[in-house]
Structure 1
Amino acid sequence: MNLPQPPEPIPGAKALFSLDFDVAHLNHGSLGAVPHPVQHARRLLMDEAERDPRAFAAQVVTRLRLAREAVCPLVGAPAELTAFTTNTTTGVALALRSMDLSEGDEVLTTDHGYPSIDFNIAAQVRRLGVVHKTVPVPLTPTDTQVVEAVLSGLTPRTRLVVLDQITSATARVFPVAEVARQLRGRGVALLVDGAHVPGHLPVDVAAIGADFWIGNLHKWAYSPRGTALVSVSEDWRDRMWPLVESYGHEAGFPTAVEFHGTDGYTGWIAAPVGPAVLEQLGVERVQLHNAQLAAYGQAVIAKALNVETVDDEGQGRLGMRLIPLPDGLVTTQADAEALWQRIRRNLGVEVAVTCWNGRGFLRVAANVYNRPAEYDRLADGLSGLLAV
């Protein structure tokens, strides 16, 4: 197997991070990493809040609006139709609550979906008698196969389709704009789970045309953890209800969703510093670097394990890649958790181990602080580790 050429490091980029580099951090997709300038901006805001809590609180709503207006261009979302939330899961809960679902209404997902999204749908099943339908999609589907799978699952009772833009466990790119186009006029809402998208791939939320789009800024856009965006179409603006009714309620969306009285807002207000760091490094430069380094990591690990990689045409743009594990090694989520702990403990490597439909995979990610030697380290250690 010929290995792809890894990219040259971006000068100075690694020094932006506080990570313990005794550990090889090859799992940026899970929790991201917060650069020093973003940490510093948040600390200044925390200090300001402690110097005069009441004065700081009086400015929160205005500063949240300004922060939203600063970050929304990164994803092409209208600021007036977008709110900060803590993560994609919370955004899904907001959308489900606002849809006013009732007994027999169907929510459709694919088998590539994220577990916590299913947890929230399951809560609607228990409380309201909603029906959750899951359609299978191949591991390496074409865009046509994804669209056909979604359309095949629709019935007259389908109210909502939830579709990943980038899947988490399987690292696939799904054609969300085409699904939105196909659903238009059918009376079926589309919620796009864009958890891995901001800063990772170019995106124009308004052009996608989904009813709800939700994405994390704390993964690939370098914002503080607990920072995400939920963006809605104009049709849903006046129907979005917060999970907690508080002093911002009468202002309507987005303030009603964002403002919860004495909550902590410093991460959201500091959020624009993350995309600013990304912009200073060069968005396209970073994305190309990450895609090339992830491809190298995937290839060197697959070669060490003597396995074939699982790719599709959309994979080449991503900064995270999938490597199948030997058959039978990981067949449950508990197996995945156990292997993750062994790799972390014995090899000093942080990497995602996923289980999808009874099959085990490594999901390696790459960012500007990573180096080829870290993937070599994982590749060199895996053969012996898995033979134990």
Structure 2
Amino acid sequence: MSVPQPPEPIPGARLLFSLDPAVSHLNHGSFGAVPIGVQRAQQRLRDEMEANPLRFFTQGLVDRITHTRRHLATALGADPDGTALVANATTGVAVVLQSLGLRPDDEVLTTDHGYGAVDLSIRRECHRTGAVTRTVRVPLAATDEELVEVIRAALRPGRTRLLVVDQLTSATARLFPVAAIVGVAREHGVPVLVDAAHAPGMLPTPVDSIGADFWVGNLHKWGYAPRGTAVLVVAPWWRERIEPLVVSWEQDTGFPQRVEWQATQDYTAWLAAPAGLFTLRSLGVDRVRAHNAALVAYGQRVLGDALGVAPADLPDPGGPGIAMRIVPLPPGLATTIDAARALRARVAERIATEVAIMAWDGRGWLRLCGQVYNSADEYERLSVRLPPLLALR
């Protein structure tokens, strides 16, 4: 089987970013990278805020946030009146959890592909309320149909108060058939929260077409927004029950303002977020998605070859446009969170490459991302330098 060819670079795209050229940044999925133009848009807003803080916060800021939210929600295919701006997807999850009113013996159901901080948030809320959390195992190679059936079998109508699933998983870069999962859960009367941290900017699926009770997604990853920009989308029948983590002056206004307004929070990231989407549209949304998916597929293959992983053993995310892929590490490496973090730091320090290292299902995995500022030679260099580093463990 031949190695896929890398895509042609998008002319000038690398120059849009201020990333250190001495480092290969192959982990866009963790914190993103903010284009220079978006950085400048946010800085102009900060300058405005610091020139007259009282005027900035008291004259029209709520309206500006509302206008920004409507722009972002429309771009994502979500109802602006059911969308709230939040700091990140994990914050949105926490808002939902504490608004549910969990009681003793209620159950929150998750999968073993879930994001670690979300799992911690679920655990804390269950501990506080007396509810329980249960995790269902989903094999990495499961088909969409098998995945849906695994979740169907795990639901406990009358006890399962919430199902939390990822749209695109962080640990395994697996695309979940969330619309089908929501349909099955609704048949059983179970609300669904979709953790779509990686969806905005990467996946074309309109939010409203999924039909979830709750959907959270970050724009500061693949949507080129400043960090701290995410949305929580809530179905109409839940909106009156959603409460903020901290009460502030817009509490009596209702959702979404009561969630968005957090007193002296720095709102400039939200207000600059449309500049990120403008950058993405200027490059060409479909062009960027195709480029990133093809580039990371190439990177996965050359690294897999270097580590002796057969092409058939390289996980396929299951759909076009996925800009993240994983490569299994040799047995015994990075099998715990601490070991994974230590290996990631060693790769960054010794070969000047930023990647994600995950411990999942008893094995270590290296996650690669593709972005317009990356080039094929960065993955090729990693494939040359990583095997000797792993041999020195």
Q: TM-score, normalised by structure 2?
A: 0.97
> Which amino acid is 2:359 matched to?
C
Residue 385 of structure 2 corresponds to residue 381 of structure 1: yes
Alignment of 1:1-388 (within 5 A): 2-58=2-58, 59-155=60-156, 156-308=158-310, 309-312=313-316, 314-388=318-392
Q: State the aligned residue count.
A: 388
CA distance in structure 1 between the aligned counterparts of 2:229 and 2:237, rounded to whole angstroms: 24
**Mapped partners of 2:192, 2:255: distance in 1:** 19
Please say if residues 291 and 320 of structure 1, whose CA atoms lie closer than 8 Å, have aligned partners that are also in contact. Answer: yes
Q: CA deviation at 1:262?
A: 1.4
Deviates more, 1:328-337 or 1:35-44: 328-337
Contact map agreement 1:38 1:274 (CA 8 A) in 2 = yes
Closer/same/farther in 2, CA of residues 374 and 313 from structure 1, 3 Å limit: closer
CA deviation after TM superposition for structure 1 residue 315, in Å: 4.5
Matching residue's letter, 1:15: L
Displacement after TM superposition at 1:152 (Å): 1.4
Whether the 8 Å CA contact 1:227–1:271 is kept in 2: the answer is yes
CA distance in 2, matches of 1:186, 1:383: 48
Q: Is the 8 A contact 2:316 2:325 kept in 1?
A: no
Q: Distance in 1 between matches of 2:93 and 2:133?
A: 14
Partner deviation per Cα, 1:53-105 (whole Å, 9 max, x = no partner):
11111221101111111111232111110011011110000001111111110
Aligned residues of 1:103 and 1:130 also touching (Cα < 8 A): yes
Does the Cα contact within 8 Å between 2:68 and 2:274 map onto a contact in 1? yes
Contact 1:171 1:321 in 2 (8 A): yes
Of the structure 1 ranges 46-55 and 188-197, higher mean CA displacement relative to structure 2 is found in 46-55
Specify the SS of the correspondent of 1:256. Answer: helix
SS of equivalent residue, structure 1 residue 69: helix
Alpha-carbon contact 2:198-2:218 (below 8 Å) kept: yes
Return the letter of the residue paired with 1:4: P
Deviation at 1:201, TM superposition (A): 1.1
Shift of 1:237: 1.2
Map Cα deviations across residues 238-291 of structure 1 (whole Å, 9 max, x no partner): 111011010010111100000011111010111111111000100000000000
Moved more, 121-130 or 20-29: 121-130
Structure 2 distance, partners of 1:131, 1:289, is 43
Instruction: Give the Cα–Cα distance (whole angstroms) in 2 for the partners of residues 278 and 317 of structure 1.
Output: 14
- Aligned-partner Cα distance in 1 for 2:146–2:21: 41
Percent of residue pairs bearing the same amino acid type: 51
Contact 1:245–1:256 under 8 Å retained in 2: yes
TM (norm. structure 1) is 0.98
- The CA deviation at 1:311 is 2.6
Tell me if structure 1 keeps the 8 A contact 2:304–2:314: no
**Whole-angstrom CA distance in 2 between matches of 1:125 and 1:249:** 25
Distance 1:315-1:185 versus aligned 2 partners, 3 A rule: closer
Post-superposition shift, 1:317? 2.6
Instruction: Return the offset for 1:13.
Output: 0.8
* C-alpha distance in structure 2 between counterparts of 1:19 and 1:348, whole Å: 13
Gapped regions of structure 1 (runs ≥ 5): none
Q: 1:18-49 deviations in whole A, cap 9, x for unaligned?
A: 10010000000000000011101100000101
Within 1, Cα distance between the matches of 2:317 and 2:98? 36
Task: State the AA in 2 paired with 1:269.
Answer: L
Q: Structure 2, unaligned stretches of length 5 or more?
A: none
Q: Distance in 1 between matches of 2:340 and 2:163?
A: 28
Partner SS state of residue 311, structure 1: coil
SS in 1 for 2:265: coil
CA RMSD of aligned residues (A): 1.1
Report the 3-state secondary structure (helix = DSSP H, G, I; strand = E; otherwise coil) of the residue aligned with 1:201. coil
In 1, are the aligned partners of 2:35 and 2:276 still within 8 Å (CA)? yes
3-state DSSP class of the match of 2:273? coil
SS at match of 2:237: helix
